[in-house]
């Protein structure tokens, strides 16, 4: 493409809530002018979509491969938290993401991970110190302090937590929040510490309470956590204080859509076009001070072309005046990807997952489809030779977490709602420390599923009487060097296998990955034991 070009269509001016026929003149990647016209092609030009909070690692793709698919769906920028790879590989992992994203065209705006490890109640592969935060936030391409999951640390003025927040303020960079269910005086104190956003609200009342005290709310609709139905009314009621995000997006779903899917749903709900586009395109750019154009003169020429607002089909995507995607095809070529990892774990036997018990009842995690929160229940124990075992008939399965960084005894508990009748599934995508997590009907199957991941140094696995499948994730045990289409096909196949085993969760592996996320109540499992996320202590 030449240094200068003109594109005509109906201009959607979100900030002035108008649509008019016009021409956009681009020179050297910058919008030189926007002129009104009379006759233009039947297409619409508008600012591109911005995902206000996503962990790219959870797509199982490198930043570059994520970009190759997201650009097709009209995404021009993301606000990305690299704390998944940071928990595994530390600063090396963060710099890996920055380097891999450098030629991805998509404007991926990384933050400095605030909570690595997320808690002291689990084993991670690295620690990000205040000195590391200082180093990262001093960079122009690291734009914010990522989600402050340690909200107890904020409430109790933990010196390390408060120092990280202070550093972000010293650079005039925003601090993201993460405080599911936090209300009342505690929420107010958390916000007043300088926390500016939250993507964890799962009820409208919670969101309104936080909005009332100045916090911006990110409406999340990802592959596991889906809060759009509960929160979408905020788009019309608080269009200047709301954004859209996916948080975690699996590759099979990224193939079919990204934020464009949420935009279509919002429009189908009857929300005003300009309100929807404000939260999807404008608010993240302004809140995070992103170097992303908003379809105004002198802005970078970052915009998309759609057929019409009713159908909202993405026809073209432009970044810095370069057409990077057209009609479902991305112009970015394939490339090879460096592999980094952190894995030190020996194979295990079925006996390693024994759960000695002399009690009639056991505490059980109750997983909730589409939510990160869980319930805590007590269930009758099925005892065999002095050990509590899985009770597949009553959907009480065994859940285990294996330390991937040091040889140690696995943590064992029980979980409900996976509904597997025979076999096991395992993953090294296990938020936030990314140890190995597995669920199964018997210890032999669990050991097979876990050992497949140890042999491959990371990935997803599923084992039943019909055989085994594994999806290798050699990059930090989180990502594949393959394309979205390739990894999406393999992921769909292993997901189908798990569902054939009886699981009816929408995204079994994504749900499993959050069963180790201690900062989300009520009950979770780390490599150190069963954890009460409300009391913030291990279950006695």
State how far the Cα of 198 lies from the Cα of 211, in Å rounded to an integer: 10
Under 8 Å between Cβ of 149 and 114: yes
Could you read off the pLDDT of 485-536 as tens digits, one per residue? 999 999 999 999 999 999 999 889 989 999 999 988 899 999 999 999 888 8
* CA 219-224-225 angle, 5° bins: 30
pLDDT attached to residue 2:
59
* Helical ranges in 171-282 per DSSP H: 184-192, 204-212, 228-231, 234-237, 251-256, 259-268, 273-277
DSSP run (H or E) holding 537: strand 537-538
pLDDT attached to residue 533:
86
pLDDT attached to residue 1:
47
Could you read off the pLDDT of 128-162 as tens digits, one per residue? 999 999 999 999 999 999 999 988 899 999 999 99
pLDDT at residue 164 tops 50: yes
**Token pair belonging to 30:** 């910058």
| φ, ψ at 527 (rounded to 5°) | -65, -10
**Which residue in 397, 388, 378 sits closest to 505, CA to CA?**
397
| φ, ψ at 180 (rounded to 5°) | -60, 125
Percent share of the chain, pLDDT over 70: 100
pLDDT attached to residue 3:
84
pLDDT at residue 312 tops 70: yes
**Token pair belonging to 174:** 């925003």
Could you read off the pLDDT of 188-222 as tens digits, one per residue? 999 999 999 999 998 999 999 999 999 999 999 98
**Which residue in 202, 154, 208 sits closest to 181, CA to CA?**
202
Look at the pTM and tell me if it is higher than 0.85.
yes
- Give 473's pLDDT tier (boundaries 50, 70, 90): very high
**Token pair belonging to 140:** 């122009």
Domains of the chain are 44-330 (3.20.20.140), 350-538 (no CATH)
pLDDT attached to residue 119:
85
Q: How far is CA 26 from the centre of its chain?
A: 34
For range 166-184, the mean pLDDT: 96
């Amino acid at each position: 493409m030449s240094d200068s070009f003109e594109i005509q269509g109906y201009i959607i001016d979100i900030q002035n809530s108008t649509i008019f026929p016009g021409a956009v003149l681009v020179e050297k990647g910058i919008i030189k002018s926007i002129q009104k016209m009379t006759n233009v092609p039947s297409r619409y030009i508008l600012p591109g979509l911005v995902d206000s909070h996503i962990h790219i690692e959870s797509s199982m793709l490198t930043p570059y491969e994520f970009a190759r698919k997201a650009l097709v769906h009209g995404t021009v920028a993301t606000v990305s938290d690299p704390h998944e790879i940071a928990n595994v590989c530390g600063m090396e992992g963060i710099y890996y993401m920055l380097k891999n994203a450098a030629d991805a065209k998509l404007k991926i705006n990384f933050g400095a991970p605030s909570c690595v490890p997320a808690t002291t109640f689990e084993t991670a592969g690295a620690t990000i110190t205040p000195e590391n935060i200082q180093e990262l936030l001093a960079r122009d391409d690291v734009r914010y302090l990522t989600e402050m999951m340690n909200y107890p640390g904020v409430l109790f003025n933990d010196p390390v937590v408060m120092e990280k927040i202070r550093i972000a303020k010293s650079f005039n960079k925003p601090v993201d929040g993460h405080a599911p269910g936090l209300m009342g005086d505690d929420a107010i104190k958390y916000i007043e510490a300088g926390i500016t956003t939250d993507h964890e609200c799962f009820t409208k009342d919670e969101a309104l309470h936080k909005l009332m005290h100045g916090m911006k709310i990110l409406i999340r609709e990802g592959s596991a956590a889906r809060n759009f139905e509960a929160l979408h009314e905020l788009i019309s009621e608080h269009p200047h204080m709301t954004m859209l995000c996916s948080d975690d997006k699996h590759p099979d779903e990224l193939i079919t859509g990204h934020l464009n899917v949420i935009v279509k749903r919002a429009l189908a709900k009857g929300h005003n076009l300009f309100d929807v586009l404000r939260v999807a395109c404008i608010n993240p750019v302004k809140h995070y001070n992103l170097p992303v154009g908003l379809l105004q003169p002198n802005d970078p020429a970052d915009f998309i072309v759609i057929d019409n607002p009713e159908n909202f089909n993405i026809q073209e995507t432009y970044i810095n005046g370069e057409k990077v995607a057209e009609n479902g095809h991305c112009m970015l070529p394939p490339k090879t990807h460096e592999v980094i990892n952190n894995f030190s774990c020996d194979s295990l036997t079925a006996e390693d997952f024994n759960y000695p018990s002399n009690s009639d009842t056991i505490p059980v995690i109750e997983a909730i489809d589409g939510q990160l929160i869980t319930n805590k229940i007590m269930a009758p124990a099925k005892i065999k030779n002095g050990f509590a075992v899985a009770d597949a008939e009553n959907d009480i399965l065994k859940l285990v977490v294996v330390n991937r960084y040091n040889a140690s005894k696995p943590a064992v508990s029980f979980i409900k709602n996976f509904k597997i009748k025979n076999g096991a599934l395992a993953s090294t995508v296990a938020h936030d420390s990314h140890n190995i997590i597995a669920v199964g009907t018997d210890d032999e199957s669990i050991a097979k599923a876990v050992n497949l991941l140890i042999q491959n140094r990371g990935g997803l696995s599923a084992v039943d009487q019909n055989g085994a499948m594994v999806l290798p994730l050699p990059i930090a045990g989180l990502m594949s060097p393959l394309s979205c289409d390739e990894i999406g096909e393999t992921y769909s196949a292993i997901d189908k296998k798990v569902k054939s085993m009886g699981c009816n969760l929408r995204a079994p592996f994504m749900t499993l990955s959050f069963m180790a996320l201690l900062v989300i109540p009520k009950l979770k499992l780390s490599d150190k034991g069963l954890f009460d996320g409300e009391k913030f202590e291990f279950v006695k």
